[in-house]
Amino acid sequence: MNSLNFPVYILMLLLAFAVIIPLQRKPFGKKFQIAMVSVLGGALFMALLELIKVLTDAPYSYTFGSYEAGIGIEFLVDEFSALMTFVVLLLATLVIIYSIKDLEHEIEPHRMYSYYTLVFLALFAMIGMIFTNDIFNLYVFMEVLSLTSVGIIAIKKKKDTLMASMKYMMMGAIGSVTILMGFALIYMVTGHLNMTLIFQEISQVWELYPRNILLAMGFILTGFGIKAAIFPLHNWLPDAHSSAPTPSSALLSGLVVKAYVFSIAKMMYRVVGKDISVNIGITGYIIVFAVMSMIMGSVFALTQRDMKRRLAYSSVAQIGYIFLGLALATELGFSAALFHVISHAFMKSALFLSAGSIIYLTGKRDVKGLDGIGYEMPITMTVFSIGVLGMIGIPGTSGFMSKWFLGLAVLDAGHPELLLVILLSSFLNALYYLPIVISAFLRERPETPLEMQRDRIPMTMKVSMVLVAAGSLVIGLFPHLVMDIIEQAVPTFINLGMGL
């Protein structure tokens, strides 16, 4: 098997399995579960081989049908896209293993096949967005991801989930239209859909059409900002995350929004280029929205008593960190943003999976009703605490390293005032996260029902969330494992836009 084709094989495998799932006639059971995890394991193994190949050899492009890049569909495979694909498939595998038992309590049995069809289509679309090097197919993959995300939110078919999915669909449609308008303007200016060719053309004509390019990027960033839930375009996210099944919440926050953020990075650094992004003034606007998101997301999280809504608003704040790193338009800022993409994916997945386990066993969602639960669910609350410490930025966690790198980046970019914003956001994180952990372990515990003793949740759920938390700890204790790849990837990522 030619390793150069691994991205194609991964997409074909995920799409083929998504097509096969609805054809199942037997009740949802172990054979299908084993097949599903095996498919993901195969895709994950290919992603690992692809990552090793790119790190030891060099990035490359793959054009379908041997057409020229400007005509055919082109994939660009660099270090970070390979790393991101591996992380997406790793976390998706763990979340799906977790979901096997969790969904028995959340959705009806006859909807299981529909749910996993949507999940595999979403994974197909996410990985397509990561690899594609033309804006037309980026839009197609984005629409597939948006529609499947609506489905995995609405799968319960309860009033709150249907309302949340409708809000998500309406906001997503607005985002899609604005992105399409931006892409149309880019095409009018350059006459190209291929990202490399667009960059080469824009670098020559941007001084003739600065307002057109600024307007195009304004549309594009607004559209992707809606889909990534940056403040104040975030209002779909709390309802969607709080009402969706727990695995859906983990996928949406940990992975789906990252695909949109990665698309913004492509548009800023690979399509328009960081120098032109600065010259037309788009980075200044992004910094403003990033700061608002970091602060206001945390402020709104403070007011939430529903555990999953609090986690959802926290995601709004964390997306702000990533936008801030991207907007600095420096290699160090870009590296910090990409590191936080990976770090947050693990931290937030650990938080949602552990929160889902608490709801699974106790039915409790109110953060005021978790006194002493750390004694009854020590493993679950340890996982939750690891996620919390990371979000606050305690040394030794991946969240601390994210904020450390971002702090260095803002100082390097000559914006020391932004360091105060990072510190303030971290303080707010502590205000709404630490009380949950303190009440869980230090408050008097109530009488314990027999079924709650000793973390009596299914082993698949327990193992999955522990492995996710372990991944977060590994990134925090050994950040060079990720940062070395990112530092190798950043110059390549930018230079690929230049066709180098």
Cβ distance 338 to 494 under 8 Å? Answer: no
Model pLDDT for residues 6-36, shown as the tens digit of each residue: 888 999 999 999 998 888 777 677 888 888 8
If one counts every other C-beta atom within 10 angstroms of the C-beta of residue 493, the result is 23
Confidence at residue 424, expressed as pLDDT on a 0 to 100 scale = 92
Report residue 243: phi and psi, to 5°.
Answer: -100, -20
Confidence at residue 2, expressed as pLDDT on a 0 to 100 scale = 44
Model pLDDT for residues 51-101, shown as the tens digit of each residue: 998 888 877 777 776 666 556 678 888 888 889 999 999 999 999 999 888
N-to-C CA span, the chain: 27
Confidence at residue 498, expressed as pLDDT on a 0 to 100 scale = 45
93: its two tokens:
């595998």
If you write DSSP's letter for every residue of 351-366 in order, what string do you get?
HHHHHHHHHHHH---B
CA distances from 332 to 413, 468, 485, 500 (A): 9, 27, 13, 21
Residue 32 makes CB contacts below 8 A (sequence gap 6+) with: 24, 26
Is the four-CA dihedral 57, 60, 63, 68 of positive or negative sign?
A: negative
Q: For residues 440-451, give the mean pLDDT.
A: 63
| Domain housing 342 | 3-497
The Cα 455–Cα 375 span in angstroms is 9
Confidence at residue 237, expressed as pLDDT on a 0 to 100 scale = 83
Model pLDDT for residues 159-190, shown as the tens digit of each residue: 777 888 888 888 889 999 999 999 999 988 88
Confidence at residue 165, expressed as pLDDT on a 0 to 100 scale = 83
By the 10 Å C-beta count (0-12 exposed, 13-18 middle, 19+ buried), 27 is classed as: exposed
Cβ distance 293 to 319 under 8 Å? Answer: yes
> How would residue 455 be classed by pLDDT, with cut points 50, 70 and 90?
low
Model pLDDT for residues 196-235, shown as the tens digit of each residue: 888 888 888 877 888 888 898 899 999 999 998 888 888 8
Kindly report the pTM of this predicted structure.
0.88
> How would residue 3 be classed by pLDDT, with cut points 50, 70 and 90?
very low
> How would residue 450 be classed by pLDDT, with cut points 50, 70 and 90?
very low
User: What value does the mean pLDDT of the chain take?
Assistant: 86
As for how many domains the chain has, the answer is 1
Confidence at residue 467, expressed as pLDDT on a 0 to 100 scale = 95
Confidence at residue 1, expressed as pLDDT on a 0 to 100 scale = 40
Q: What percent of the chain has pLDDT over 70?
A: 93
